[in-house]
């Protein structure tokens, strides 16, 4: 996973970068673009930063596997057309 990001709410674009320098340069470029014409109301939301944590799948069970551990959840999955059930947690980015 790339460790840095830049975000431009004016365009609705979030980009991920390998280095802090790339993220900062992208945010500066977005700011320059946003202030070349009429300044939009979201220009103050242009930013860059370091990603400290992200969602990681911690379990993955097929409907068949759920039949033995949690039949009610297996039934719920089937009714919703799901083939599996996953859970996630936020973990530190390394």
For the segment 8-38, what is each residue's pLDDT rounded down to a tens digit?
A: 998 899 999 999 999 999 999 999 988 887 6
- CA 51 to chain CA mean position, Å: 10
DSSP state of 11: T
What's the CA gap between 49 and 22, in Å, rounded? 11
Average pLDDT, rounded, for the chain:
93
Q: Name the pTM for this structure.
A: 0.71
> What pLDDT is recorded for position 70?
95
The tokens 């297996």 sit on which residue? Answer: 74
Confidence bin at 67 (pLDDT 50/70/90): very high
pLDDT at 78 over 80: yes
* 42 pLDDT higher than 80: yes
């Amino acid at each position: 996973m790339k460790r840095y990001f830049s975000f431009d709410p004016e365009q609705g674009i979030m980009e991920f970068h390998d280095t802090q320098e790339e993220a900062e340069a992208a945010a500066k470029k977005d700011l320059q673009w946003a202030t070349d014409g009429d300044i939009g109301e979201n220009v103050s939301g242009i930013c860059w930063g370091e990603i400290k944590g992200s969602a990681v799948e911690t379990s993955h069970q097929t409907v068949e596997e759920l039949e033995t551990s949690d039949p009610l959840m297996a039934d719920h999955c089937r009714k919703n057309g799901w083939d599996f059930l996953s859970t996630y947690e936020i973990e530190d980015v390394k």
